[in-house]
Structure 1
Amino acid sequence: MSNHNQNQRFPCLQFLSQLQLQPQKKSQEAKTNISHIVFGIAASANIVGHRKNYIKLWWRADQMRGNVWLDQPVKMEPEHDHLLPPIKISSDTSKFEYKHPKGHRSAIRLSRIVSENFRLGMENVRWFVMGDDDTVFVAENLVRVLQKYDHNQFYYIGSSSESHLQNIYFSYNMAYGGGGIAISYPLARALEKMQDRCIERYTGLYGSDDRLQACMAELGVPLTREKGFHQFDVYGSLFGLLAAHPVTPLVSLHHLDVFEPIFPNMDRVHALQRLQAPMKIDSAGLLQQSVCYDKTRSWTVSVSWGYTIQIFRGIFSPREIEMPSRTFLNWYKKADYSTYEFNTRRFGRNPCQQPFVYYFSNVVYNKNASHTATEYVRDRVPDPECHWKMANPSRIKKVQVYKAPNPHLWDKSPRRNCCRILPNNKNGTMVIDVGVCNEDEVVEVR
């Protein structure tokens, strides 16, 4: 049957074919920026303690909009007023039942933060983003992630827990609030209309995250996963996770009071402040891992840009190095690799099997060369007495990494950068170039 006859018999086919041939109107709408986001920070009266310092690490009062939502009024020192979001007091939730035997009814209050922010009627809002008072956001990367999505549609964006057991107990379909949850404006509007009715149907749930997800399920909106939102339901050292960050922009860090400081010999706030330096110069590349080899000395080198360099004796495949080493315990403080929701590798207890670790210490941007020079210094630990038949990395005291910032890195399909070890005449120093992989460049020893 000809297309002409088909169109006569089925007018709807003619309409659809004409519609497909019409040129699509290109949206002239500006790209999402930080001013389009309204933050809602879940907190309580303990905001007057040290946690306000976590918020001050990332909050920019002259660029950002949002509120800290408390359960009761607190008195803040005047010098903190311009460094923190405005403080709001949550509405009374005493009319809602809470029946979970082990939780706390504050979960009801916290689950309504997006709706309460929506009711403030702010203009030109595209996204509502939730976080906790112990969450640090990388604002530029949050914007990069949200730019991928049409804010005029229903979107519920976030990530699961690192704990397989937590995800089983609560839901793999749930965004964990501490890692950050992004909700598009139309979805926030729909949520605000029905949330109080929804909450009444889920009196037995534990927290705020699962209550919010229950309402998303009633609205028919699934979780859109973004791996850069980090709940960090782990104890111990985050080193293994941060040194092998997934190929996605780092958006958030959570549970800052639970894990150890991310840099040695520093308190938590100062350790996070150190990360701010590379973040400001090249946020897109922060923590991005690349792997290369020193063939002559049989070393494997892992670069986590802006954070750490590891030198391994021996040749290890990228498949192995891209897995986080288990420097941490699960949420139940057990060293059980089967309880994580991602692959991990063993962290050698024998010092001779551990990598030589160099931590970020300084960054300089060279405008003339359009590249950054980052410096990493050897962690001050005693050299183990090992009897290897290969070169000893202990002679390397410092690593210098050259890299051109690439703010459009995430506009392309995800791919790790490549690194190359450069020849140099500096004793005790390794020099590395990191950048976009060249044509046919492969991480291999040849």
Structure 2
Amino acid sequence: MHTSDIFKHLLISILLLYVIFNSIPNEYSPFNNFNIISPIKFRPSDSPSPPSSSSSSPTTLAHLAFGLVGSAAAWGHRRPYIESWWRPNATRGFLYLDKPPTGPWSEASPPYRVSENLTAFLAETKAAAPVAIRIVHAIMEAVRDADDGNLRWVVMGDDDSIFFVDNILDMVAGYDHRKYYYFGTPSEFVMSNFWFSFVQGFGGAGFVLSYPLAKAMADDMEKCLRRSAHINAADLITMVCAADVGVSLSPHKGFHQIDMHGDISGLLSAHPPVPILSLHHFDHVDPIFPGTNRSESARRLMKAAAAADQSRMMQQTICHHKQNQWSFSVAWGYSAHIYEKIMPRWHLQKPLETFKIWVGQPRPPPQFMFNTRPDPSKDPCEAPHLFFFTHAQKTPAGILTTYSRHAPRGLPPCSSPHSVPANNISEIHVLSPPTKRTQMDRAECCDVVLKDDKAEVTFRECFSKETIVV
């Protein structure tokens, strides 16, 4: 038999076998579990679904939900804090109270919910801190109540948290909401972190969860709370629940827990060049603007300054007036300082320690998670002339903010060579560009012109080889 004949017989045999096996019912086929022709198929749970047009669209405010936790007893005096930043019919979310409020509910406030009754669960688990369990459980409630199919990010906070909504939106828009993220910040006070955790997001400062993480934590909430019933701090339980899902904190310098007391103007006047996202503990610090109460301070900050340009809010910009040997430090929308001495930028970036520690007696340094400058109230070369924001105005050239002198400094002039007293300056006008600042890799530069009793400061982008030195 020739080779060609053998090949023909072999081919005919293969075709006959193919016909025979295809005629056999599928459940009896010997090739049922051995398919070398069909491509590999993933189970639905293993197969990554392609992003839909809606999930890949730009993130908007409609994709965020706020879960705020408070008490009916404190709501009366904390209401102005939330109403200073909440935008009815724009921001969405809920305020979770421990019991129904008394009296009518303001349309300027977030809609409220009464937290779920966890009495039986608390008794069963013998929870060490029932209030902490209620606070963490609110994550699950917020996801449940706000999940309309378009939810991408969940922002959790307290009823005395002040959020900079535009900056939060810009921040999360730079991340993929389909991945697992847990944004927040440790405390400024070293001992708070030592007592609880250096790698947890402190809840009053607010923390942000991407939807996949928030949903995973919500689905595991009851089990996690059972595992964590012995823990007596809500923020630590939250960190534990995120860790159990496999996610760690991504710290962000824009959140501020404000674990301190007294005058925090020294801290706020030295904000780093990152968008500010939150402030907390307004009840525990002095009003941040002189001559106002806490509610008025919150309104001035959010309705006047932040409404004009959140992207620059409180970010510190430093420049010098060489002729008078002055240093200017401007925290946009909050304060401006004049020093009667040329000071390097790295020195002015350290906050003046005008504030006090959160709890306990002063301990050996460090007290805080950053370097500070001691209170220089008696040193005329180190003590600044203080000016605070009063109003903002949009002009064709940009945004003009005004800072008025708080009070006479009450010190003699600085004895530094060639220095000129600054006692005659009554106002500082700051002109910043009309466009939102999107690049934060470098601080802005500024130029100073003196006109009678006014100082005019103009913000601009630094030149490529410019250095902020004299």
Cα offset for 1:383?
2.7
- Residues in 2 aligned to 1:382 and 1:73: alpha-carbon distance in whole angstroms: 49
Cα contact 1:284–1:406 (8 A) shared by 2: no
Correspondence list, 1:34-433, <5 A: 34-78=61-105, 80=106, 82-94=107-119, 95-96=121-122, 97-100=125-128, 104-120=129-145, 121-276=147-302, 277-332=304-359, 334=361, 337-350=365-378, 352=380, 353-366=382-395, 368-369=396-397, 371-381=398-408, 383-386=410-413, 388=415, 390-407=419-436, 409-410=437-438, 412-422=439-449, 424=450, 426-433=451-458
Q: Tell me the secondary structure at the aligned position of residue 430 of structure 1.
A: strand
Structure 2 gaps of 5+ residues are 1-49
Cα offset for 1:361?
1.3
Q: Tell me the secondary structure at the aligned position of residue 300 of structure 2.
A: helix
User: Cα RMSD (Å) of the superposition?
Assistant: 1.9
Cα offset for 1:48?
3.9
- Residues in 1 aligned to 2:393 and 2:85: alpha-carbon distance in whole angstroms: 21
Cα deviation code 1:155-213 (max 9, x no counterpart): 11111100111111111110011001111111111111112111111222122111111
Cα contact 2:75–2:159 (8 A) shared by 1: no
Cα contact 1:285–1:406 (8 A) shared by 2: no
Deviates most, 68-77 or 167-176: 68-77
Cα offset for 1:126?
0.4
Q: Tell me the secondary structure at the aligned position of residue 459 of structure 2.
A: strand
Correspondence list, 1:430-441, <5 A: 430-441=455-466
The structure with the largest alpha-carbon Rg is 2
Q: Tell me the secondary structure at the aligned position of residue 366 of structure 2.
A: helix
Distance 1:441 1:27, change over 3 A: farther
- Residues in 1 aligned to 2:413 and 2:275: alpha-carbon distance in whole angstroms: 38
- Residues in 2 aligned to 1:74 and 1:373: alpha-carbon distance in whole angstroms: 41
Cα offset for 1:351?
5.2
- Residues in 2 aligned to 1:227 and 1:382: alpha-carbon distance in whole angstroms: 32
The one-letter amino acid of 2:369's match is E
Cα offset for 1:122?
2.4
Distance 1:362 1:106, change over 3 A: same
Cα offset for 1:406?
3.1
Q: Tell me the secondary structure at the aligned position of residue 376 of structure 2.
A: coil
- Residues in 2 aligned to 1:168 and 1:333: alpha-carbon distance in whole angstroms: 14
Cα contact 2:386–2:407 (8 A) shared by 1: no
Structure 1 gaps of 5+ residues are 1-23
Cα offset for 1:99?
4.8
- Residues in 1 aligned to 2:144 and 2:51: alpha-carbon distance in whole angstroms: 33
Cα contact 1:235–1:333 (8 A) shared by 2: no
Report % sequence identity.
Answer: 32
Cα offset for 1:271?
1.2
Q: TM-score scaled to structure 2, two decimals?
A: 0.84
Distance 1:323 1:417, change over 3 A: same
Cα deviation code 1:25-53 (max 9, x no counterpart): 99882221211111111111124411111
Cα offset for 1:88?
0.7
Distance 1:109 1:392, change over 3 A: same
